[in-house]
């Protein structure tokens, strides 16, 4: 019998490891090559992961990791308060540097998912990734499960943006369905699918 995969909320000491995990998981993702300039892309991607999924998610208590940090899922909770002033200062300073010349396009495109989002409070998946050497072992599913279980318990939907048809199919395994599709603002280069998972109720 296979032992269950241990998953826990991430803490500050996990930030370097989880940022490295997301950076390792995302280099070939279509969104990455669209969002970050080619110059210094690996470093830009790592800093984005460190600040957004790492510091922001850890401080909010909404980032989960497997033991060892080989898989990560970072969420935004419904009704989440704005970041603390010191963290907001880091976001304001570092994200424009990370996205460089693409920052304006990325900001404009963040609004594209809105038409497909649930009207009611919901959890939003900011990022999920697994180190390549640890894929196909159920870690990605395991690291999503704490919030999906909480959504079911609280009667809340979960939602996300996907940027490839492969991602759409993978998230479909967990009950997410496409509610809106479009292409990125300004340049129209990247497809964007908004996906929503209704809460599951026993019986």
What are the distances in angstroms from CA 106 to CA 13, 53, 86, 110, 186? 29, 16, 23, 6, 9
- Look up the domain containing 100 and give its range: 7-197
Query: Is residue 58 in a domain?
Result: yes
Predicted confidence band at 52 (pLDDT cuts at 50, 70, 90)?
A: confident
* Whole-structure pTM value: 0.92
pLDDT value of position 203: 44
**What's the pLDDT tens digit per position in 110-156?**
888 888 999 999 999 999 999 999 999 999 999 999 999 999 999 99
Q: How many domains does the chain have?
A: 1
Query: Is residue 203 in a domain?
Result: no
- The span from the CA of 44 to the CA of 188, in Å, is 22
Average pLDDT over residues 160-189: 91
Query: Is residue 75 in a domain?
Result: yes
Query: Is residue 123 in a domain?
Result: yes
Say which CATH number the domain at 163 has: 3.40.630.30
Please write down the long-range contacts of 92-101, taking CB distance under 8 Å and 24 or more positions apart. 94/47, 94/51, 95/48, 95/51, 95/52, 97/44, 97/47, 98/36, 98/44, 98/45, 98/47, 98/48, 98/51, 99/35, 99/36, 99/37, 99/44, 99/48, 100/36, 100/37, 100/39, 100/44, 101/37
**What's the pLDDT tens digit per position in 119-130?**
999 999 999 999
pLDDT value of position 187: 67
Query: Is residue 80 in a domain?
Result: yes
Higher pLDDT pick, 197 / 29: 197
Query: Is residue 120 in a domain?
Result: yes
């Amino acid at each position: 019998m296979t032992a269950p995969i241990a998953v826990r909320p991430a803490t500050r000491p996990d930030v370097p490891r989880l940022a490295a995990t997301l950076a390792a998981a995302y280099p070939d993702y279509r969104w990455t090559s669209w969002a970050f300039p080619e110059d210094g892309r690996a470093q830009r991607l790592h800093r984005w992961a460190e600040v957004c999924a790492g510091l922001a998610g850890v401080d909010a208590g909404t980032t989960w990791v497997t033991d060892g940090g080989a898989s990560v899922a970072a969420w935004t909770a419904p009704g989440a308060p704005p970041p603390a002033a010191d963290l907001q200062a880091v976001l304001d300073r570092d994200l424009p540097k990370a996205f460089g010349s693409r920052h304006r396009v990325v900001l404009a495109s963040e609004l594209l998912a809105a038409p497909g989002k649930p009207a009611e409070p919901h959890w939003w998946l900011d990022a999920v990734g697994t180190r390549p050497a640890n894929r196909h072992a159920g870690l990605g599913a395991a690291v999503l499960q704490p919030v999906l279980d909480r959504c079911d318990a609280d009667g809340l939907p979960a939602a996300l943006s996907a940027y490839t048809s492969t991602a759409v199919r993978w998230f479909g395994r967990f009950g997410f369905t496409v509610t809106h599709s479009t292409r990125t603002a300004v340049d129209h280069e990247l497809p964007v699918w908004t996906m929503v998972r209704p809460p599951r109720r026993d019986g």
